[in-house]
Structure 1
Amino acid sequence: MSSSFRVPSVPPSGEVDIAAVFHAVWQQKVLVLFVSVGITLAAAVYAFTAKPEYQVSSVLRPAAINELDALNRSEVYQLPPGDALIKVGASLESYETRLNFFRANQALFKPFERPGRTLEQSFDAFNRDSLKLVLPDPKKSDSLSAYIGLGLNYPKGIDGVSVLNKFVDYAIDAEREQIAADLRVIVKNRLTELEGKIEAARSSYKTDKDARIATLQEADNLKRAQLQDELKALRQQIKTARQDRIAQLGEAIAIAKSLGIEKPTTPSALGEKTGGSSESSSVMRTEINNQQIPLYFMGVEALSAERTALLQRKSDDFTEGRIAQIARELQLLQSNREIEVLKQRQNEDLFLSGVEPLRAEVVRLKNLGNLDISNMKLVTIDRKALEPLRPVSPNKILILAIGVLVGGVLGVLAALIRHFIISGRRAKQQEVTPVLAGAAGKPLHERVIS
Structure 2
Amino acid sequence: MFQAIWQQKKIIISTTVLCGLVALGYAYLSTPEYQVSSVLRPAAINELDALNRSGVYTLPPSEALLKVGSSLESYDNRLAFFRDNQSLFSQFKRPGRTLEQSFEDFNRDSLKLILPDPKKADSLSAVIGLELRYPKGVDGVKILNGFVDYAINAEREQIAADLKVIVNNRLAELKGQIDAARSSYEMDKEARIATLIETDNIKRAQLQDELKALRQQLKVGRTDRMAQLSEAIGIARSLNIQKPTTPSALGDSGRTGEASGMRTEINNQQIPLYFMGTDALEAERAALQQRKTDDFTEGRIAQIARELQLLQSNREVEVLKQRQNEDLFLSGVEPLRAEIVRLGNLSNLDSSNMKLVSIDRKALEPMQPIKPKKALVILLGLLLGGMLGVLIVLVRYFVAIRQGAVQITTAPGVVDTWTGTATSGKALPNDKS
TM over 0.5: yes
User: Which runs of structure 2 are paired with 1:246-261 in the superposition (5 Å)?
Assistant: 246-261=226-241
Structure 2: distance between partners of 1:88 and 1:237: 95
Deviation of 1:276 after TM superposition, in Å, equals: 6.0
Structure 1: distance between partners of 2:59 and 2:232: 107
Does residue 130 (structure 1) correspond to residue 96 (structure 2)? The answer is no
Partner of residue 135 from structure 2, selected from 128, 133, 155 = 155
Which residue of 2 is the match for residue 81 of structure 1? 61
Q: Deviations over 1:169-196 (max 9, x none)?
A: 0000011111111111222222223223
Structure 2: distance between partners of 1:365 and 1:444: 113
Q: Higher mean Cα deviation, 77-86 or 367-376?
A: 77-86
User: Which runs of structure 2 are paired with 1:38-187 in the superposition (5 Å)?
Assistant: 38-187=18-167
Structure 2: distance between partners of 1:278 and 1:209: 89
Structure 2: distance between partners of 1:279 and 1:101: 147
Which residue of 2 is the match for residue 391 of structure 1? 369
Which residue of 2 is the match for residue 343 of structure 1? 321
Aligned with 2:58: secondary structure? coil
Aligned with 1:204: secondary structure? helix
Does residue 357 (structure 1) correspond to residue 335 (structure 2)? The answer is yes
Structure 1: distance between partners of 2:142 and 2:11: 51
Structure 1: distance between partners of 2:335 and 2:358: 38
Query: Amino acid of the residue matched to residue 133 of structure 1?
Result: L
Aligned with 1:154: secondary structure? strand
Deviation of 1:283 after TM superposition, in Å, equals: 7.9
Label 1:252 to 1:58 Cα distance change in 2 as closer, same or farther (>3 A): same
Label 1:139 to 1:297 Cα distance change in 2 as closer, same or farther (>3 A): closer
Query: Amino acid of the residue matched to residue 107 of structure 1?
Result: S
Query: Amino acid of the residue matched to residue 208 of structure 2?
Result: Q
State how many pairs are aligned.
Answer: 415
Does residue 277 (structure 1) correspond to residue 259 (structure 2)? The answer is no
Partner of residue 228 from structure 1, selected from 195, 202, 208 = 208
Which residue of 2 is the match for residue 237 of structure 1? 217
Query: Amino acid of the residue matched to residue 408 of structure 1?
Result: G
Aligned with 1:152: secondary structure? strand
Q: Higher mean Cα deviation, 150-159 or 421-430?
A: 421-430
Percent identity between matched residues is: 72
Partner of residue 306 from structure 1, selected from 284, 292, 298 = 284
User: Which runs of structure 2 are paired with 1:384-423 in the superposition (5 Å)?
Assistant: 384-423=362-401
Aligned with 2:189: secondary structure? helix
Which residue of 1 is the match for residue 417 of structure 2? none
Q: Higher mean Cα deviation, 228-237 or 42-51?
A: 42-51
Structure 1: distance between partners of 2:201 and 2:374: 109
Structure 1: distance between partners of 2:96 and 2:226: 127
Structure 1: distance between partners of 2:333 and 2:426: 127
Q: Please say if residues 111 and 131 of structure 2, whose CA atoms lie closer than 8 Å, have aligned partners that are also in contact.
A: yes
Query: Amino acid of the residue matched to residue 413 of structure 1?
Result: L
Which residue of 2 is the match for residue 7 of structure 1? none
Q: Higher mean Cα deviation, 353-362 or 255-264?
A: 255-264
Structure 1: distance between partners of 2:384 and 2:121: 45
What is the CA RMSD across the aligned residues, in angstroms? 2.3
Deviation of 1:236 after TM superposition, in Å, equals: 0.8
Structure 2: distance between partners of 1:109 and 1:178: 26
Q: Deviations over 1:308-358 (max 9, x none)?
A: 221121111100001111111121222222222233333333233332222
What TM-score, normalized by structure 2, do the two folds share?
0.89
| 5+ residue gaps, structure 1 | 1-20, 435-442, 446-450
Structure 2: distance between partners of 1:189 and 1:444: 109
Structure 2: distance between partners of 1:297 and 1:279: 23
| 5+ residue gaps, structure 2 | 413-424, 428-433
What TM-score, normalized by structure 1, do the two folds share?
0.86
Q: Deviations over 1:255-306 (max 9, x none)?
A: 3333333333333444444x263679x9876654433222223233322222
Q: Higher mean Cα deviation, 201-210 or 284-293?
A: 284-293
Q: Please say if residues 12 and 393 of structure 2, whose CA atoms lie closer than 8 Å, have aligned partners that are also in contact.
A: yes
Which residue of 1 is the match for residue 273 of structure 2? 295
Q: Deviations over 1:93-113 (max 9, x none)?
A: 111211121122222112211
Does residue 368 (structure 1) correspond to residue 355 (structure 2)? The answer is no
Which residue of 1 is the match for residue 420 of structure 2? none
Structure 2: distance between partners of 1:277 and 1:234: 51
Identify which of structures 1 and 2 has the higher relative contact order when contacts are C-alpha pairs closer than 8 Å and 6+ apart. Answer: 1
Deviation of 1:140 after TM superposition, in Å, equals: 4.0
Query: Amino acid of the residue matched to residue 143 of structure 1?
Result: S
Deviation of 1:411 after TM superposition, in Å, equals: 1.0
Structure 1: distance between partners of 2:87 and 2:229: 126
Aligned with 2:364: secondary structure? coil
Q: Please say if residues 115 and 127 of structure 2, whose CA atoms lie closer than 8 Å, have aligned partners that are also in contact.
A: yes
Structure 2: distance between partners of 1:193 and 1:158: 52
Q: Deviations over 1:103-141 (max 9, x none)?
A: 222221122111222222111111110011123444543
Structure 2: distance between partners of 1:76 and 1:84: 16
Deviation of 1:143 after TM superposition, in Å, equals: 2.3
Deviation of 1:156 after TM superposition, in Å, equals: 1.9
Aligned with 2:411: secondary structure? helix
Query: Amino acid of the residue matched to residue 376 of structure 2?
Result: L
Which residue of 1 is the match for residue 308 of structure 2? 330
Query: Amino acid of the residue matched to residue 189 of structure 1?
Result: N
Query: Amino acid of the residue matched to residue 127 of structure 1?
Result: N
Structure 2: distance between partners of 1:277 and 1:207: 90
